[in-house]
Structure 1
Amino acid sequence: MTGGENILVAEKLSKSFGGFKAVSDVDLKVRRHTIHALIGPNGAGKTTCFNLMTKFMQPTSGRILLNGEDITRTKPSAVTRMGMVRSFQISSVFPGMTVLENLRVALQRKLGISYHFWRSRSALDSVNERANELIAEVGLEAFKHRPASELSYGGKRTLELATTIALDPEILLLDEPMAGMASGDIHKMVDLIRRVSQGRTVLMVEHNLNVVADLSDTITVLQLGQVLAEGSYREVSQNPEVITAYMGDEDDE
């Protein structure tokens, strides 16, 4: 099954922690080759919903479909092989490795030698061309042979995104990609996400409303674990309920 127009679908997705229902009957449809943002005030349930969608948490009820296939009980590693890959709020690059080495490691999965630690470095030479392409794509050529620890915070997040797209995902899930970034780095990351989204689908959780307005085709607004509104930025930003619940909360911008 291909899933048709919608690549990722949540149906009546719920998650309870004891007596607290963090996510309640959420229906979400992510259209293929679009950028879809999941937003909401603190405590809205967006992080829980995102963790459910990315399979890092199991729902209490409901189901999740990827390309029409039920992945509700599928492990994250298996979902990655199916073409859905996520990033995390905290940078996860290897600081002691160079930028090139980080990309070479990320590309090992394609070779099927991820756990062959006894093989020589030359075993990875076949991925050099693609690694260099990715480094150029994200604008890190000047840092190729420098340890990742020497990159700025924005540079580390850029490298992390490069290692994520090294897996050639069909759908990319980004967990607050702008978190902790300076304004200059934010502009660069916005441009980068726009470029790498070509031919891919992106679902992201993001607090920065300017970024959401700039990048998103569709926005889903959560409040108290439920969908409050959905549509374009223009539509949701003019929704009185959204203005009350989210837009007026300056701490979330």
Structure 2
Amino acid sequence: MTTEYALEARGLGRKFGAFWAVKDVDLKVRRGSIHAMIGPNGAGKTTCFNLLTKTLQPSTGSIILNGEDISRLRTSDVATQGMARSFQISATFTQMTALENVRVALQAGKGTAYRFWRPLGSIAHLNTRAMELLENVGLQDSAGVAASDLSYGKKRALEIATTLALDPQVMLLDEPTAGMGHEDIEPITELIRKVSVGRTVLIVEHNLSVVSSLSDRITVLQAGQILTEGNYAEVSSDERVIAAYMGGVEDAL
């Protein structure tokens, strides 16, 4: 790719009735970086995330992916353009095994996911790649375990594996450590660092220790608009950010 930025938002906005949930957001995510989006509750992070992934259509502005305007594309078309996302709530098929979940994602990437009447033997060749992806996220020993029986941390790892199955150039991770105990946060943080190699990652995350250890650059939202942007040292010392968090950022250092 020749463009410096893998993902951009230009004047991005979304209006619900008379209320602007996101307004005039200009965002540039540098290729090959891990870029975090943070902000207090109600700042518009999720809405902005949903706009970027086309879960919501923007009221104003444009979205540029790898130099191409994707503003009018459908959600299903965005994945074919090299961008995939995970969700704050784990989105796996609970009654399927870990291997089957990844295999379904691989089928989706190949456009064969919904050919239900094909014999299982016709997709057996996907098992090798599915096992490779499970190994990448440390779940090789859980391949035959139903997703519902996995620990919360392993469910998040499985979701990352299914996201990787789409072979995205740009990954958007929505609160990947939300609801985790301390024992799961560090492994998931290391996993994100590992899978980000050769990719661009945009992450929404409340845990500021995760943000500080992972992020190359941070965008802070407040009331649907960008408050400031910079590296962690710059952002965490900004008095406007400290005020927005009512002391939360300063206390987290």
TM-score computed with the length of structure 2 as normaliser = 0.96
Q: Counterpart in 2 of 1:65? A: 64
Separation in structure 2 between the aligned mates of residue 62 and residue 79 of structure 1, nearest angstrom: 17
* Unaligned 5+ runs, structure 1: none
Instruction: Please list every run of 5 or more consecutive structure 2 residues that lacks an aligned counterpart in the other structure.
Output: none
- Deviation beyond 6 Å, 4+ runs, structure 1: none
Give distance in 1, aligned partners of 2:21 and 2:109.
37
- What percentage of aligned pairs have identical amino acids? 59
C-alpha displacement of 1:102? 1.1
Number of residues paired by the alignment? 251
Residue equivalent to 1:166: 165
* 1:111 Cα offset (Å): 3.5
SS state at 1:193 partner: helix
Structure 1 segment 171-182 matched on structure 2, within 5 A: 171-182=170-181
Aligned to 2:22: 23
Alpha-carbon distance in structure 1 between the residues aligned to 2:175 and 2:246 = 17
Aligned residue type for 1:18: G
Could you say which residue in structure 1 is the equivalent of 2:95?
96
Q: 1:201-212 alignment to 2 at 5 Å? A: 201-212=200-211
**CA RMSD after TM alignment:** 1.5
Superposed, which structure 2 residues align to 1:33-44 within 5 Å? 33-44=32-43
Superposition pairs of residues 43-192 of structure 1, within 5 angstroms: 43-192=42-191
Deviation at 1:3, TM superposition (A): 6.1
Provide the TM-score with structure 1 as the length reference.
Answer: 0.96
Residues 54 and 111 of structure 1, relative CA distance in 2, 3 Å threshold: closer
Q: Residue in 2 aligned with 1:245?
A: 244
**CA–CA distance in 1 between the matches of 2:71 and 2:47?**
15
Q: Which residue identity lines up with residue 152 of structure 1 in the other structure?
A: S
Provide the rounded CA distance (Å) in 1 between the counterparts of 2:231 and 2:153: 28
What is the deviation of 1:110?
A: 3.8
Distance in 2 separating the partners of 1:233 and 1:66: 25
SS in 1 for 2:116: coil
Which whole-Å CA distance do the structure 2 matches of 1:43 and 1:113 have between them? Answer: 39
Q: Is the 8 A contact 1:175 1:206 kept in 2?
A: yes
Contact kept in structure 2, 1:41 and 1:249, CA below 8 Å: no
Q: 1:103 Cα shift?
A: 1.2
Query: 1:247, CA displacement in angstroms?
Result: 6.2
The equivalent residue for 2:222 is: 223
